[in-house]
Amino acid sequence: MRAADTKFLKEAAEQLLENRRVLMWSYVFGYYLEKAKSAERNLFEWLQEDLEKHTNHLSELYEMPNDKVDNYHKFIKWKEDVANFTRVSKKVL
């Protein structure tokens, strides 16, 4: 395996950290969001939930057990899945 084949792991880890940092502060923001503006609050909560779902899915892909990636073809498929979902997660953020 080449070093270039593992660059996607660093990018995914950085994206996970950024997503979790935004989620962490979004709960504080949501707490202080005015209760009267229900449409704004509903949109905020929907976006927050969407980011949570994408972050959790990326985390599951990133933490795939080694025994499930036991040959080079499975590794390449896993690499593509993680890299693609990292890009999707970045757009959701």
- Return contacts of 82-87, CB within 8 angstroms, 24+ apart: 82/8, 82/9, 82/12, 82/58, 83/8, 83/11, 83/12, 85/54, 85/57, 85/58, 85/61, 86/8, 86/11, 86/12, 86/15, 86/58
Q: How confident is the model at residue 1 (pLDDT cuts 50, 70, 90)?
A: low
Share of the chain above pLDDT 70, in %: 98
pLDDT greater than 80 at residue 5: no
Q: Encode pLDDT of 33-45 as tens digits.
A: 877 678 888 899 9
Find the mean pLDDT for residues 46-50.
95
What is the pTM assigned to this prediction?
A: 0.85
Q: Quick one: pLDDT at residue 80?
A: 92
Q: How many domains are contained in the chain?
A: 1
For residue 49, the enclosing domain spans 3-92
